[in-house]
Amino acid sequence: MAMIPLGAPQLRFRRFSAALGGAIQGVFDGTQFILGPRVEAFEEDFATYLGVRHCIGVNSGTDALILALRSLGIGAGDEVITVSMSFTATAMAVLHAGAQPRFVDVDPVTRCMDLAQVEAAVTSRTVAILPVHLHGYPMDMPRLMALAERHRLAVVEDCAQAHGARIDGRVVGSWGHLGAFSFYPTKNLGCPGDGGAVVTGDPALAARVRALRTYGWFDEQRVSAELALNSRLDELQAAVLSALLPHLDEGNHERALLAARYRTLLEGVDVGLPSYHPGRVSPIRDLCPTT
């Protein structure tokens, strides 16, 4: 019996091997291998794609979450509302920041955070909300941002599974105060190693993330002003990501067509599938542009 693999990133690398080979050779021909011109180029291109002002390349999606939370000053005694159905890195990042995760359940239709439970979970110690766009299905960010504004809470979007997902044409990662992305190989924008990024429209937060990813260096004096990480995206991963980024929407569209095909083939089977309603936010409608 043929097995369907959980992921096959090698197929994408093989498909674009010519472009990737040239990008990789360009790194080897250069003299800078970490936080060089290719990282800067990818940061600029990904920020433009998302419609945000700043993108900061880091070592992983987990570090992206940690640095986003740390940039907000979140720490001991604080609570961050997040969702119980997610990869372990979501809650682990809150703990690494020194705060306490406060879990809410998911909406059974979207598998994303249940907003009614979020409202009920807010306490005097709550400082932020950490929603997860699960399986490419975007959280209802307009309602979440309105809730966060009422309670004066920060919002950090976990976009590790939703590169290019859209709500009314606006890409996830551009709604919250900060967004965190993973470029693990199996992501729909993935590199052949670890990688991640923090995105934000706030220049002050961007400056803090840039310093916190590199030993707490806030200026050229290289004085470690506070406890920080060594979490830097390397040139090789950035070069690959830059070569693949122009194909992200095309790849998302292919995934949506495959999802629709699975839905057709599984009709009548007792398997719980993500709901699709044309009038709602949905991965098929909003994950990619119509072609």
pLDDT tens-place string over residues 79-89: 999 999 999 99
User: 175 by DSSP, 3-state: which?
Assistant: coil
Give the span between the Cα atoms of 113 and 226, in whole angstroms.
33
Residue 200 bridge partners (DSSP): 54
Is residue 141 over pLDDT 60?
A: yes
- Whether residue 87 lies inside any domain: the answer is yes
- Whether residue 81 lies inside any domain: the answer is yes
pLDDT at 275: 64
Residue 207: CATH number of its domain: 3.40.640.10
Query: Which residues does 290 contact at the CB level (< 8 Å), separation at least 6?
Result: none
pLDDT more than 70, % of the chain? 94
**Segments forming the whole domain that contains residue 146:** 32-247
Give the model confidence (pLDDT) of 97-121 as tens digits. Answer: 999 999 999 988 888 999 999 999 9
- Whether residue 111 lies inside any domain: the answer is yes
CA distances to 122, 142, 157, 243, 276 from 154, in Å: 12, 14, 10, 33, 30
pLDDT at 256: 86
- Whether residue 280 lies inside any domain: the answer is no
User: 13 by DSSP, 3-state: which?
Assistant: helix
Kindly report the pTM of this predicted structure.
Answer: 0.91
> Is residue 74 very low, low, confident or very high in pLDDT (cuts 50, 70, 90)?
very high
- Whether residue 39 lies inside any domain: the answer is yes
Give the model confidence (pLDDT) of 239-273 as tens digits. Answer: 999 999 999 999 999 988 888 888 888 888 887 77
Give the model confidence (pLDDT) of 164-210 as tens digits. Answer: 999 989 999 999 999 999 999 999 999 999 999 999 999 999 999 99
- Whether residue 289 lies inside any domain: the answer is no
Residue 160 one-letter amino acid: A
- Whether residue 179 lies inside any domain: the answer is yes
Is residue 287 over pLDDT 50?
A: no
pLDDT at 283: 41
Residue 79 one-letter amino acid: E
> Is residue 289 very low, low, confident or very high in pLDDT (cuts 50, 70, 90)?
very low
Domain count, the chain: 1
pLDDT at 276: 56
pLDDT at 282: 40
- Whether residue 138 lies inside any domain: the answer is yes
Place of tokens 């990662």: 173
User: 54 by DSSP, 3-state: which?
Assistant: strand
Give the span between the Cα atoms of 237 and 39, in whole angstroms.
8
